[in-house]
Chains A and B, each alone.
Chain A
Amino acid sequence: MTEMVYGSVPVRDGEPVFPKWWRTVDKWTLSCILMLFGVGILLGLAASPPLAERNNFAPFHYVQRQALFGGMAMLAMILTSMMSPTVVRRLAVLGFLGAFVALALLPFLGTDFGKGAVRWYSLGFASVQPSEFLKPTFVIVAAWLMAAAQDLGGPPGRLYSFALMVAIVLMLALQPDFGQASLVLFGWGVMWFVGGAPMLLLIGLAGLVVLAGSFAYNNSEHFARRIDGFLSPDVDPTTQLGYATDAIREGGFFGVGVGEGQVKWSLPDAHTDFIIAVAAEEYGLVLVLAIIALYATIVVRSMIRLMRERDPFIRLAGTGLACMFGVQAMINMGVAVRLLPAKGMTLPFVSYGGSSLIAGGIAVGMLLAFTRTRPQGEIGDILRGRLR
């Protein structure tokens, strides 16, 4: 008491930050993400030495970089997850403005690293892809606008967010980066769906997509060939897809053994887009199923926690972030097993990549911030007799 009176022990107005964070954060999701990051390092040990050899670096150069960036990403994630949703929203809106401007300036200041699409800023020691940061912050901004639209006399937020989404998708498509563009489109669609899109409109849109698809299939030879090639059961074994499929088969249930895999030497994208093939070959189906389970847990658990959320902004933002995260993982693995047509997309937290790792950390941090346990007016529900 004396110490308190004389100020030698600081007075707190509430619960200490860290214990509160630990009490309220979704520990399941957190541990899943940490495990995914661990798997990423483990697979980096297997998949990146060929790349390091090609680029004349020490064998584990990329693993060290991954660990460094991963550490930064974990830090960013934890810091973000400690913020309150309001602070997250404010910072994300500022971040969104920055990323949007950066994306718009890409054609003038960006570089394509000889890959044909201008997507990066080169910072010397690392490269930054603005669209990686734009994706999660856009989700926040769109959720904010949509939630505001629900208020009586609020702004027409859905229309605004739709216009914003169209602008971003167009800019991404012009780079061209159809993968990111489709992710942004998907994220907005999911939020719109959860935010109360009319069922009739959704059914109409689905019909329209089917119509447009069949029209494109019948009229565009290129499109038809892509689809036919995807549907045909034979895959040319000399393509990346063929190697990936063979690697999965080679691995079987328990893998060929650590460091024994061959596919990483044949695939130029073994450390990014096809890392799941390396995992399947060296560690077998066991690790692949574990990775899938981790992603599924993160997504499904976040959804369940968001179901109880009262605040529309938090609900929408959380949904958008979780779905984007899950879909990116799904597309990556779906391509490797030929359930989806070929599309370059990284496996979040597992694939190698500096700026995408940090952006992913921030995104998941925001998701964790939104799914933290907070009072949801249960007492009020009980008092009003809407007990469930």
Chain B
Amino acid sequence: MIRTPLRPLARILDAREKGENPDAIERENLRIRHEQIRDSSRVRAEGRLLVLGLTFFCAFAVIGARMGTLAASEPREPRSYATGASIINSRADITDRHGRVLATNMSTHSLYAHPHQMIEPERAAQELVRIFPDLDQERLVKDFTGGKRKFLWVKKKISPEQMQQVHDIGEPGLLFGPREMRLYPNGALMAHVLGGTSFGREGVHAAEVVGTAGIEKFLDDELRDPAREGAPVQLSLDLTVQSVTEEVLDVGMKLMNAKGAASVLMDVRTGEVIAIASLPDFDPNKRPRPLTEGDASDSPLFNRAVQGVYELGSTFKIFAAAQALDLGLFNASTIIDTRPPFKVGGHKIGEFENHNYGEISVEEIIVKSSNRGTGKMALAIGPARQKEFLKGLGFFDPTPLEIVEAKGGQPLLPKRWTDLSAVTISYGHGLSASPLHLAAGYAAIANGGVYVKPTLLKTSGAQNGARIMSERSAAAARTMLRKVVTEGTASFGEVPGYFVGGKTGTADKPKERGGGYYKDKTITTFASLFPAHDPRYVLIVTLDEPSENSGKKPRRTAGWTAVPVAAEMIGRVAPLLGLRPDVARMQVERVYQTSN
């Protein structure tokens, strides 16, 4: 670039010679330079302004065109896509094994308020409190007139009558939203299985119903699956049988002054649970809050049949006997010395009320419930094989029942399985399991030696589970169980025509803080199967801290408490299950017994 000076030396010198002011030359040059800059910038600006103008014109044209297309299109109704529209609020029904409804949905309404649309907020609050006495009037007035809130829930669920009454207030700021509500028409029946529901995601126009406990939570995804198209979930439970079971258990619990009770009735071949009850119970329509302090197992929400793990006492003895028979170590008439002393690992093993049964057969050990007898059998079996056997019967893991609480029923096992553990576990101490575990174990004996998984869903046909023992051993064990009822500790368990077999179990309750057992608190269990010659069902009845007070001193054994309750239950439930009292066999058995 050639730089042209503003003060060209030649011209400056020339001007000086002529006596002119040389600054004028600079000014003149500057003016010319400015003129040039101005012209060039004007040319450039012309182009850029043209671009700008065209851009603006195009932009306005686009807006106009867009207006035109909008004006030409059809208007839509201003209908809200409320957030709730995407909430799926269909939930499948739950029925019992015969299709009777256990849980269903009902459409109701929720009540909410738009305080800014209210005309007479004070009167509205007053009228609302008249309809719903549990509302706080001062709070409502504050919410309605505070001016801060544009929206508030008044009631989540209201009945049609209440809805009409709210309509009658005539307040435009009170509005209704449709709601699906879960209804359990049978009240507290099967409360622990059904669990309960609550609202999940909530919008004005819909709310999600989600399971909070029990099978409602376990099968939540399945119940809410739109692909089901409303097909109900059918359970293995029988409404009638369940109803009778709960009634008898409730009466039994009160008669025996127990603080809690549980029962499980299970089909021995299919593993279907026909009735399962835990008392005290609750109404799933108004599910109580969980306890915030104290022992969770005292809450009515606690499922004693599934979550509660207890030392189930002598009911375990049949497992030791059955295994000993199965291994060929003994047979039913092998004589075992049950006299004291019998010491294992430095501990003396005693009997109930310090009995001494002398030298008796294996069968008599079960019938009389001898701790030392089963202990000796357990030593012969050995801890490793015993562990294997009990594991096969499902005593090591939580039961696979289809309710969320089942996971909480983890059995308590000894840390090291010593000889002493083997001996104490053979008579039901040192291993805590739930009544449902016990039912599954007894089902294996009842069905000929096959483990069946307990289930709450209706199934067809027997389960082909793992074989735990031979059919012969199972049959021999059943004969012993029958004898417990006819000759032994469970004599109250006889129900004419139904040939009940079973084993009692009375376990002292361990102290909560450790350090031994209570002298006057027991858990009594009667594990039974019927009919003993061809078992169809097992029934477990457990009472928590019972005491039968008709005698001189309170009786706390299973034979006096759990057994009569179970017998009453069987007597009433068996006909409902389609079992007939076998009169012909009753006579045969009587002849057999008298000739013996």
Q: Could you list which residues of chain A lie within 8 angstroms of chain B, going by C-beta atoms?
A: 150-152, 190, 193-196, 234, 236-238, 242-243, 245-246, 248-253, 266, 280, 284-285, 288-289, 292-293, 295-296, 299-300, 303-304, 306-310, 312, 315, 319, 323, 326, 330, 333-334, 337, 339
Contact = CB atoms under 8 A, between A and B. Distances in A.
A78 B335 CA distance: 128
Given A150-B37, A236-B80, A292 B52 contact: no
A249 to B, nearest CB: 4
B73 A249 contact: yes
A372 B56 CA distance: 21
Interface in B358-413: none
Nearest to A263: B78
Contacts of A253: 71-72
Contacts of A252: 71-72
B44 interface: yes
Contact of A238 (B34, B50, B64, B78): B78
Given A190-B52, A307-B45, A292 B78 contact: no
A106 to B, nearest CB: 27
A330 B64 CA distance: 10
Given A307-B45, A315-B45, A285 B67 contact: yes
Given A196-B45, A315-B45, A333-B63, A246 B56 contact: no
**A-B interface, 8 closest residue pairs, ranked by CB to CB distance from nearest:** A303-B53, A249-B75, A296-B60, A237-B78, A285-B71, A337-B66, A248-B70, A250-B75
B247 interface: no
A330 B74 CA distance: 24
Nearest to B46: A307
A292 B53 contact: no
B49 interface: yes
A293 B61 CA distance: 9
Interface of B: 30, 33-34, 37-38, 41-42, 44-46, 48-50, 52-53, 56-57, 59-64, 66-68, 70-81
Given A150-B37, A289-B64, A237 B56 contact: no
Contacts, number: 127
A285 B56 contact: no
B482 to A, nearest CB: 72
Contacts of B59: 330
5 contacts: A152-B30, A195-B45, A292-B67, A330-B56, A330-B63
Nearest to A285: B71
A150 B39 CA distance: 12
B56 A300 contact: yes
Contact of B71 (A236, A284, A309): A284
Contacts of B74: 249
Contacts of A152: 30, 33-34, 37
A41 to B, nearest CB: 22
Given A330-B60, A330-B63, A339-B62, A304 B71 contact: no
A303 B45 contact: no
Contacts of B37: 150, 152
Contacts of A323: 52, 56
Contacts of B42: 309-310, 312, 315
B48 A194 contact: yes
A34 B34 CA distance: 39
Contact of A296 (B30, B56, B75): B56
